Structure 1
Amino acid sequence: MTQFRLFTVLATIIGSLCATGAQAANYGFIQEQLVLEDTLKPVKDTTFLSEEDLALLVEYIPNEPNEVIQDRLSCIESDMPLVFNNFVRAHIDYFTIRNRKYTRKMLTRENVYFPLFEKYLEKHNMPRDLKYLSIVESGLNPKAASWAGAVGLWQFIKVTGKEYGLEQNQYIDERMDPEKSTDAALRFLKRLYRTYGDWELAMAAYNCGPGNVNKAIRKAGGGKRTFWEIFPHLPRETRSYVPNMTAVIYAMNYAAEHNIFSDSILYTPDVAYLELNKEVDLEKLAEELHLTKEQLMALNPELKTTKIPQHLLNYRIKIPAQSAKLVASANDKDCILLAAAPVKHPEPETAPEPAKSKALLASNTEEKPDKDETKPTDKITYVVRRGDNLSNIAKDYNITVEDLKEWNDIKGSSIMPGQKLLVMKPADEANTTLLAVNKEAAAPAKATPAKSAIEKIKKESLIYHVQPGDTLWTISQKHNGLTVEQIKRLNKLKSNAIQPGQKLILG
């Protein structure tokens, strides 16, 4: 019976490989692009298989028909199109049949990084499924490095990393800092989405660069603006990149249906932060914290050396939360214990700077809080209108342009109609300003500002400005009782394609 089952499983694997032989060459990019802890090697003789690999051979490996795979993909609620075809099927087979070990490893690691990714995706109002792109890029390995010099969870090359504020020198490489690189990667992807209005094209441009995507669009005739329309004209690696993303989303959502389970789940450890005040030897610091050097460096993958020099004053590193008491009791003047550490590009909702340890800051007990910390603040969402610029918006709200740019992570000065901007105002001013700010809400001569604003809100409740990441389905979910077909009929849409800034009638 055992021999018969083994024969059946081997036959299934061989049959799958033969069926996808035309796409076999495309699997090469996975081995080149993803840095795996274990090198993938073709197996020719079972005599040399490890016990783990032998166990994999005799496990039950489902080989679902196309109809089942396609139906499961359609059941995944995603803001991105999950196209199914033979090419995508070949990649799904890679993760569910050929390299089940890799999918199992991703299930083990996902809880370490996905909460962080989801936090920043929510901050940037981007599709949650983009968290799976780091699996395609690096296999959730912050130390991953490619032959082309791309590094980290999101595989930044040096030039792009510097463009997005990731510091790189002989001591640190912030492309390997999970938090800073995640924020940078999502800002880059958001910029690409604003360019193409399509998440598949944005991902393709992330992989091969906007120049190659633009070239493919021109070769396809210029009028074709979806990934699959320009597919034949894209670089070979990029032709596999987006299908690989779809396959990863499928495999991670339906691993159990393919009998893929992780035997161990990793989680993000609780950490505290140290701000270094002068040159520090991390090996000695690790000893004082009762850690090994490897443990301390693993918490800070961006560190390239155990020596933090003087010129990196105030650099922040992570330590285990349980080790924080040791630092506080030592009253070490070389570093300051922080309750938390904001990243270089803080969220608009970032709380005030964390309180510093009393044991370490006894000399600073006379410090007074900033005046803004004594006032409660309200958050106002402003929708950019045609003709708006940062200066007039800042003037209307009695704030500075610099604050407006910082709250919304704006690097230049350009804004787009329909774009949402966060404005922070003292609570006693917010309600008054909200009623008076919109220039287009001009009230009749005898109307009060409050009445005018209310009338405008009622009027514009029927119009929706499409935001980056929106789909007809997500918009319909925000408006109870409205279906996708109703939205298309009201706006005379022939397809589900919509663009950021586009106005939709919803009533």
Structure 2
Amino acid sequence: MTKNVFSWQLLGLCMIGIYFMGIAAANAAEPASGDLIRALRIDSPLSLCNEPVPLSDPRNKERFEKEMLVSLGNQYQVILWLKRTTRFFPYIEQVLAENGLPGDIKYLAIAESALRNHAGSPKGAMGVWQLMPQTARKYGLTVDNQVDERRSFYLSTPAAVAYLKELHGRFGSWSLALAAYNMGEEGLEAEILEQGITEYYRLYLPLETQRFVFRILAIKCIVESPQHYGIFLDPDEFYPPLAFATVQFDALDEFPLRLVAEAAGTVFKTIKDLNPHIRGYYLTAGSHRLNIPLDGETGFEKRLLALAASDAQVRDRRLYLVREGDSLSGIAKKFDVPLAALLIWNRIPLNAVIHPGQRLVVLPFHPGKDWQTETAVGD
């Protein structure tokens, strides 16, 4: 009995210790309240896109401070913002300068996606700039089941900048242009007409849009002076820009992306990471511009043509002629390949209906199988 009591006491002490360790870890990860209060003290007027922000209005000051506290309360995310800026900002700044737009627009990309290529929203926005499909298509991007150029930072940035430039021309101020980017230009125009107000900071807008410009301003303050908010990063801790070469080639038919990786002397994942706009495992027929590692550029086209020719030569031996009573799972089992792989090779969903006479690609080719009877060769 004494032994059991001692065990429970020991367990209790351990649980108390774990509890206080958790509190200590949480406190270490979050700035102290005194630090946050000091961070809110702004000594000079603030501006966004060269437009003054009227923080003398207590309501605006409260909106700004809320966004500062929300951002600083998640220092894990702030650190990732900062580390990613060296990967994304140089190109954004280049495109902004070429179009005569203020440099502060780059902070919009953090507010929208935290600089993530595959960021998506429930409403259907996608990419670093969170473009909706119809907006992306309007500014020249391809969005379909095979290609979604919103996911490509290098393709979507010029489109987003063109859209912002048009919004500024329509509304006459950057605060309103940013609000329209968030809620849609027609919705903002309707609010302006109804309320008779043409100043963002005095308009009653959807709550998300009321916060949006202040969120961008808070991000600007933090990114421009992270040390002021207790965040210190050495130069070598930032993520480097992506280094790649861009190659162009034509595909006469659907083309396995794995062959591009092989021709570039790299792996499938690297090609997908450098070309996030390519969906799935195959390229469509037509002309393509893809990014590949720098050291894979020399001789790339020659290697790709040789690999494509070799792949085409054995393709017929990889075709299975569907028979009466066949199922996808049964075919996968017959050739000892994963069902998921069979779906990838044939670009079909799990619930696809197959029919007798249909040809399915089955990889890899197994010499031990009786492919003269199993395949479509000669049919």
Per-residue deviation at 1:308?
Answer: 0.5
The correspondence for 1:266, drawn from 223, 239, 243, is 239
Aligned to 2:191: 216
Alpha carbons 1:299, 1:318 under 8 Å: kept: yes
The correspondence for 2:82, drawn from 107, 110, 117, is 107
The correspondence for 1:87, drawn from 48, 52, 63, is 63
Is 1:253 aligned to 2:224, yes or no?
A: yes
Aligned to 1:325: 298
Is 1:235 aligned to 2:206, yes or no?
A: yes
Q: Deviations over 1:109-141 (max 9, x none)?
A: 011111111111011100011011010111100
CA distance in 1, matches of 2:225, 2:50: 18
Is 1:177 aligned to 2:152, yes or no?
A: yes
* Correspondences of 1:282-361 after superposition (within 5 Å): 282-310=257-285, 313-325=286-298, 327=300, 330=303, 332=305
The correspondence for 2:181, drawn from 196, 206, 220, is 206
Aligned to 1:117: 92
Alpha carbons 1:134, 1:154 under 8 Å: kept: yes
Q: More displaced, 292-301 or 198-207?
A: 292-301
Alpha carbons 2:48, 2:217 under 8 Å: kept: no
Q: Deviations over 1:239-264 (max 9, x none)?
A: 11111111111111121111113473
Alpha carbons 1:280, 1:334 under 8 Å: kept: no
Aligned to 1:131: 106
* Correspondences of 1:419-438 after superposition (within 5 Å): none
Q: Deviations over 1:274-306 (max 9, x none)?
A: 213114311232234332211110111111112
CA distance in 1, matches of 2:224, 2:163: 26
- SS at 1:217 equivalent: helix
AA aligned to 1:258 is: Y
TM-score by length of 1: 0.51
AA aligned to 2:266 is: L
CA distance in 2, matches of 1:316, 1:334: 18
Q: Deviations over 1:208-233 (max 9, x none)?
A: 0122212222332x2x2111111xx2
CA distance in 1, matches of 2:106, 2:169: 19
- SS at 2:239 equivalent: coil
Per-residue deviation at 1:332?
Answer: 3.6
AA aligned to 1:256 is: Q
Alpha carbons 1:271, 1:319 under 8 Å: kept: yes
Aligned to 1:276: 249
Alpha carbons 1:87, 1:243 under 8 Å: kept: yes
Alpha carbons 1:104, 1:261 under 8 Å: kept: no
Do the aligned partners of residues 246 and 331 (structure 1) sit closer, same or farther apart at CA in structure 2, a change above 3 Å counting?
A: closer
Q: Which runs of 5+ in 1 are unaligned?
A: 1-44, 336-507
CA distance in 2, matches of 1:155, 1:107: 19
Aligned to 1:465: none
Do the aligned partners of residues 77 and 174 (structure 1) sit closer, same or farther apart at CA in structure 2, a change above 3 Å counting?
A: closer
CA distance in 2, matches of 1:210, 1:298: 33
CA distance in 2, matches of 1:115, 1:143: 20
Alpha carbons 2:259, 2:307 under 8 Å: kept: no
* Correspondences of 1:20-99 after superposition (within 5 Å): 55-57=28-30, 62-65=35-38, 68-71=41-44, 74=46, 78-84=49-55, 85-96=61-72, 98-99=73-74
CA distance in 1, matches of 2:263, 2:28: 43
Do the aligned partners of residues 138 and 214 (structure 1) sit closer, same or farther apart at CA in structure 2, a change above 3 Å counting?
A: same
Do the aligned partners of residues 50 and 164 (structure 1) sit closer, same or farther apart at CA in structure 2, a change above 3 Å counting?
A: farther
The correspondence for 2:117, drawn from 133, 142, 148, is 142
- SS at 1:315 equivalent: strand
Do the aligned partners of residues 99 and 244 (structure 1) sit closer, same or farther apart at CA in structure 2, a change above 3 Å counting?
A: same
Q: Deviations over 1:437-468 (max 9, x none)?
A: xxxxxxxxxxxxxxxxxxxxxxxxxxxxxxxx
Q: Deviations over 1:124-183 (max 9, x none)?
A: 100011011010111100111101010011111111111111111221101112122111
Q: Deviations over 1:58-115 (max 9, x none)?
A: 88972244873252x54x785233443111011112222x111111100110111111
CA distance in 2, matches of 1:90, 1:99: 13
Per-residue deviation at 1:189?
Answer: 0.8
Identity %: 25
Alpha carbons 1:95, 1:248 under 8 Å: kept: yes
CA distance in 2, matches of 1:50, 1:172: 47
Query: How many correspondences in the alignment?
Result: 282
Aligned to 2:335: none
Do the aligned partners of residues 309 and 93 (structure 1) sit closer, same or farther apart at CA in structure 2, a change above 3 Å counting?
A: same
AA aligned to 1:62 is: D
- SS at 2:175 equivalent: helix
Higher helix share: 2
Do the aligned partners of residues 77 and 187 (structure 1) sit closer, same or farther apart at CA in structure 2, a change above 3 Å counting?
A: closer
Do the aligned partners of residues 134 and 50 (structure 1) sit closer, same or farther apart at CA in structure 2, a change above 3 Å counting?
A: farther
CA distance in 2, matches of 1:158, 1:46: 48
CA distance in 1, matches of 2:138, 2:99: 18
CA distance in 1, matches of 2:21, 2:270: 33
AA aligned to 1:314 is: S
State the structure with more CA Rg. 2
